[in-house]
Amino acid sequence: MSRIVVGPFNRVEGDLEIKLDTDQGQVTAARVNSPLFRGFERIMQGQEPMDALVYTPRICGICSVSQSVASARALADLMDLDMPLNGQLATNLVLANENMTDLLTHFYLFFMPDFARGIYSNEPWFDSVESRFKAQKGSAAKVMLPARSEFLHLMGIMAGKWPHSLSLQPGGSAKPIEAQERIRLLAILASFRKFLEHTLFGDDLEAIAELGSWNELQNWREKHDWQHSDFTRFLHLSDQLHLASMGRATDQFLSYGNYPDPQGGLFKAGASFAGAVTDFDQKGITEDLAYSWMQSVNGPVHPAAGNTEPSLDNEAAYSWCKAPRLNRQVMEVGALARQLINGHPLAADLVSRNGANVESRIIARLLRARYCDPADAKLDQAAKAR
């Protein structure tokens, strides 16, 4: 038996180390370790409740607004506050801006550059993929970075800055939108939509939104050369490298839902076991410390009852992370889980064919980008409601 230790990792947010035990060419154990402990639970203890809005987003610079929204909602729950419609819409727009920015950052800067590595240099597609996606040098980043920055001008207007805003409050947004700013927002969204249609998808967002099955996706793809857009480039690479056969996990999915509005929100909440989507009770969520460098007081407990006492004494431990579970089960969250539980037919078809894998997760992420359009429509509603 031998052990392989992999790290330092790149193009992840946060720290990562992976230890693999192998025996006769088979992996017998894999330990995924977060080698960094900051202890935000402890940093927050004893602070003024409203100051959670300052501390929480600083857990993570790439999902800062998600943390702001979560802490604002928690404070609203505590104070029994309802958010007015415009506050909800403004919060949703800011959150969607971050969400879509992150999908773009992940795809162009974190994910695709791996296919430009020298180990693929004998592949027939290599030269063109390398010139498009090579880390720091590829032509894609040169158009994506300015598009990303310009899209984030929405944050400048609606949240002051990104990351780490304080405009998202329990009762809504601290930033009223002026008439001039509403026009500017419409122009920013229209411009970003052009980037998505021209560079990422190579088709109208409506056409992408209509793709309802694997077959429809293949038919759409066959109409284009593989170098037609960055999406078709990905689909080609995914075929060539069999990405649909990699990265399978438990195929149990959890989505908390998101973008609430009076019509019930853009994404509904639910859990999916063996293909059936059901409601779930957040009381079933616990954090397991069995393999964490933490002192476990009462075994796995709900986060509200949890403790954070770092300790190197736990001999079974290999990570600073706590392990979140739903009813003691490992659940997959993220873009694919969210689309699947919300009933997106393409996501459902992809999962029924090959479960959650590298390919279906990336497709689900990119599908989210097409919501640029409803964001636009909701802005219009917000303006009319004022």
Partner 1 sequence: MNLLWLQSAGCGGCSMSLLNAESPDLLTSFEAAGINLLWHPSISEETGSEVSELLEQILNGSLPLDMLCLEGSVLRGPNGTGRFHMLGGTGLSMMEWIEKLAAKARFTIAIGSCAAYGGISAAGDNITDATGLQFEGELEGGLLGPAYRSLEGFKTLNISGCPVHPNWVTETLISIALGEHTDEAVDHFGRPRMYADQLVHHGCNRNEFYEYKASAEVPGERGCMMENMGCLGTQAHADCNSRPWNGEGSCTKGGYACINCTAPEFEEPGHSFTETPKIAGIPVGLPTDMPKAWFVALASLSKAATPERLRKNATSEKLIYPPTIHKRKN
Question: Which residue ranges are tagged as binding site for Ni(2+)?
Answer: 60, 63
Candidates 135-143, 220-228, 345-353, 360-368: pick the segment binding partner 1 (CB under 8 A). Answer: 135-143
Q: Is 135 in the site for partner 1 (CB under 8 A)?
A: yes
- DSSP state letters, 107-128: IIIIIGGGGGSGGGTTSTTHHH
Q: Is 153 in the site for partner 1 (CB under 8 A)?
A: yes
Out of 132, 175, 322, 344, the only residue in the binding site for partner 1 (CB under 8 A) is 175
Handedness of CA 357, 359, 360, 366 (dihedral sign): positive
Q: Is 171 in the site for partner 1 (CB under 8 A)?
A: yes
Q: Is 150 in the site for partner 1 (CB under 8 A)?
A: yes
Out of 71, 132, 172, 348, the only residue in the binding site for partner 1 (CB under 8 A) is 172
Q: Is 81 in the site for partner 1 (CB under 8 A)?
A: no
- Residue 108: CB minimum distance to partner 1, A: 10
Amino acid letter at 276? Answer: A
Out of 100, 129, 140, 141, the only residue in the binding site for partner 1 (CB under 8 A) is 141
First CA to last CA across the chain, in angstroms? 67
Q: Is 99 in the site for partner 1 (CB under 8 A)?
A: no
Q: What are the start-end ranges of the H helices in 64-197?
A: 64-79, 85-105, 126-133, 139-151, 153-159, 179-195
Q: Which long-range contacts (CB under 8 A, 24 or more apart) does 231-238 make?
A: 231/200, 231/201, 231/202, 231/366, 232/202, 233/129, 233/132, 234/107, 234/112, 234/362, 234/366, 236/125, 237/115, 237/125, 237/129, 238/358, 238/359, 238/362
Question: What does the alpha-carbon distance between residue 310 and residue 71 come to, in Å, rounded to a whole number?
Answer: 24
Out of 20, 21, 50, 256, the only residue in the binding site for partner 1 (CB under 8 A) is 50
Candidates 139-147, 205-213, 215-223, 355-363: pick the segment binding partner 1 (CB under 8 A). Answer: 139-147
Which residue has 């009770």 as its token pair?
281
Closer by beta carbon to partner 1, 52 or else 356: 52
Q: Is 146 in the site for partner 1 (CB under 8 A)?
A: yes
Candidates 47-55, 272-280, 347-355, 371-379: pick the segment binding partner 1 (CB under 8 A). Answer: 47-55
Binders of partner 1 among residues 255 to 284 (CB under 8 A) are none
For the chain, give the number of residues.
Answer: 386
Q: Is 85 in the site for partner 1 (CB under 8 A)?
A: no
Handedness of CA 333, 336, 339, 341 (dihedral sign): negative
Binding mask 4-43 for partner 1 (x = CB under 8 A): -xxxxxxxxxxxxx---------------x-xxxxx--xx
Candidates 161-169, 208-216, 219-227, 236-244: pick the segment binding partner 1 (CB under 8 A). Answer: 161-169
